[in-house]
Chains A and B, each alone.
Chain A
Amino acid sequence: MEKLKYALYTGCTARESTPELLQSTMAIAEKLGIELVLLDEASCCGASHLQDFDDMLSLVLNARNLCYAEKLGLTMVTICNTCQLNTSMTKDRLDNDPELKAKVNEKLAEVGLEYKGTSEVKHFLYALQDDFGYDNIAKAVTKPITDINVASFYGCHNIRPGHLQHKSNGGESSYKPVSLDNLVVALGGNAIDYESKNKCCGFHVELQNPSTANQLSGIAMTDAIDNDADMMVTPCPLCHLRMDVQQHNIAKEVGRDVTMPVLHLPQLVGLALGIAPNDLGLQHNVSKQSYL
């Protein structure tokens, strides 16, 4: 197989509150022989909030991030669902509206950049699924996660809106997603089925409505627990910040214990590839990692 090479848009959380996400992403990429070039020039994507205040600014900033992947001639990979949404939504709008693209490029020209639309953008999960292939991951597994029941939690912004996400997620159904479950199986684990796997964790109203956020996370976590999950895995650091960090508040809201290890997607892959827990940043996870 030709060596895969991508431009990695880390997003903000991977550089701050979820350092373990960046560490584990780089660790498994190295192990699998995937080259990731860090886009250190990139700014925040606006996290699906900036456009509520200033839509044009959100477009210009996301287009600028894409410019740097275009300069490298590489596909951009994201490791945060919300980065994926904002970047792909910007790309979709600009690629389908020459007038809007011209307006954005007028701004970008002031700093010597031009958005062309030549780089694709996809979440790392789908790069592993569609480009690297789960068969090849299965071949690289040295410590299969046998006998562990894993609840896949997909996160909204990788699967919805479908018409947009289908361009980069292999046509994954938002009502019955399978990519993460199939990855768990490739790693040797049991992928448990539960209704809430494609539901919302409530992250985006965490500040203004913690009750809504905690109830939504609580529904998903108790659903996973009731279906015998030993742990949860997610491709989204924002879901992770809720399910991993906020377990105490979630438990208070739903009146039930929700203690459960919650891993980032590359952490789980890394464990199965035989990478040491500390090299996957597991020491940064807040939830108890009792199964290790």
Chain B
Amino acid sequence: MRNKQTKKLTIKAFRFNKEQDYNAYYDTFEMEVSQDELVLDVMNRIKWEHDGSFSYRRSCRHGICGSCAIKVNGKATLACKDNVFELVELFGEELTFDPQDERKAFKDMVIDKSEFWKKYDSVQPYLVADIEEHPSLENIVSAQDAEKLDEADYCIQCGACYYSCPAVAVNPKFTGPAALVKAWRFNADVRDNAAEERLETLQDLGSGIWDCVKCFECAEACPKELDPIGKITKLHTQTFEKGLARNNVAVKHAVGFKWSIQKHGILDEGELVRYSEGNIGVMKHIPEAIAMFKKGKIVMPWNMPKSKNLDEIKKLVEITSTAKF
């Protein structure tokens, strides 16, 4: 048997009981932890060896149920998957265990996920199809068609992406990455008939797909490596493919890049803002524009630089671009 390496660690655990406590606080536990232990093992040992009142969700212990997601030093962590030594390598020998969202804490690591589930429900997270109840043959989806899901069906609803999303943190209306992955899971399903409906509900500014800040926190956080932002991008392009894009500032911002690139190769920043906002909407940017102009940060239209070999770019846009708005 190989020698077990151990390390003496300081674990600071977030403590809060909504029924008793006015303020949250941290308890500190000194523990000898071995190289094979997972974050869940350490949480179990806190409960079993130190303080029986320490609370957290756990169930399958196999990275399937999504119950035990917490944050360790701010990093989204599926407790039954993440090795403690790997976290020590990153953060040092003092680790802080926090619930996914402190503002939603019920008891210690246990949070109120009702907002998460409400948004999840809002995308019709089920197959909408006329399928015979007693078919004579199986309803087979070909391997090629199943690939379109891009593994979105592997999501375990742990909330790691959702509670790492900064857009959700400051804008509670935003649907967030987890529900959007689920929307893609069914929008990509060849048997489903509700893709347009789902996309329609996701076009509203403030709540829908256009409020993703493109920070890739969700891609980093997902314990199943499902690249949620990649699915959000697919919902964007599907919106255009199905002709559902609305005439708003976010849509025009995406489309405007094509026009600008076709004209100059590099982006005409001022014109992109004007095109996206419209002639009236652009007015609200005048104060910043003046401040920037005074500092020599605005290029006048007659001085707009162009890429060399612009003809190539124009031709490539012409022969490649298929998207319509």
Contacts and interface: CB of A to CB of B under 8 A. Distances in A.
At the interface, is chain B mostly helix, strand, loop or mixed?
helix
Contacts of B291: 245, 248, 286
Contacts of B90: 173, 175-176
B73 to A, nearest CB: 7
A54 B307 contact: no
A97 interface: no
Contacts of A129: none
Nearest to B171: A212
Contact of B166 (A17, A41, A51, A199): A199
A99 interface: no
Interface in A216-247: 216, 219, 245-246
8 contacts: A13-B269, A16-B299, A40-B307, A41-B308, A43-B265, A205-B250, A211-B170, A284-B297
A23 to B, nearest CB: 11
A286 B295 contact: yes
Contacts of A18: 297
A160 B316 contact: no
A149 to B, nearest CB: 22
Given A12-B266, A12-B269, 6 more contacts: A43-B266, A53-B254, A53-B258, A107-B316, A205-B213, A211-B171
| Shortest 5 CB-CB contacts between residues of A and residues of B | A160-B216, A200-B215, A52-B236, A54-B323, A208-B250
B316 to A, nearest CB: 5
Interface in B281-325: 287-288, 291-292, 295-299, 305, 307-309, 311-313, 315-317, 319-323, 325
A18 B298 CA distance: 9
A174 B220 contact: yes
Contacts of B292: 17, 245, 286
A56 interface: yes
Contact of A207 (B75, B227, B277, B312): B277
B97 to A, nearest CB: 15
Contact of A216 (B166, B205, B276): B166
Given A61-B261, A156-B214, A216-B166, A208 B288 contact: no
Contacts of A209: 171, 205-206, 211
A144 interface: no
Contacts of B248: 208
B6 interface: no
Contacts of B309: 41
B236 A17 contact: no
Given A55-B237, A176-B91, A19 B297 contact: yes
Contacts of B244: none
A199 B220 CA distance: 12
Contact of B216 (A13, A51, A54, A156): A156
B267 A12 contact: yes
Contacts of B276: 207
Interface of B: 73-75, 90-91, 166-167, 170-171, 174, 205-206, 210-217, 219-220, 227, 233, 236-237, 240, 248-250, 253-255, 257-258, 260-261, 265-267, 269, 273, 276-277, 287-288, 291-292, 295-299, 305, 307-309, 311-313, 315-317, 319-323, 325
Interface magnitude class on chain A: 35 or more
Contacts of A160: 215-217, 219-220
Contacts of A200: 166, 213, 215, 217
A42 interface: yes
Contacts of B240: 53-54
A215 B167 CA distance: 9
A274 B321 CA distance: 48
A179 interface: no
A195 interface: yes
A139 to B, nearest CB: 30
A107 B317 CA distance: 10
A136 interface: no
Contact of B319 (A107, A203, A213): A107
A40 B316 contact: no
Contacts of A19: 296-297
B233 A40 contact: no
Given A17-B298, A175-B90, A216-B170, A245 B211 contact: no
A200 B170 CA distance: 12
A44 B37 CA distance: 48
Contacts of B220: 160-162, 174-175
A212 B288 CA distance: 18
B250 A108 contact: no
Nearest to A38: B308
Contacts of A283: 295-296
B297 A286 contact: yes
A157 B229 CA distance: 13
A43 B313 contact: yes
B288 A246 contact: yes
Among A64, A161, A202, A246: residue with most chain B CB under 10 A: A161
Contacts of A219: 170
Among A50, A157, A283, A285: residue with most chain B CB under 10 A: A50
Contacts of A64: 312-313, 316
B296 A54 contact: no
Given A12-B266, A16-B299, A47-B267, A208 B320 contact: no
Contact of A49 (B171, B254, B315): B254
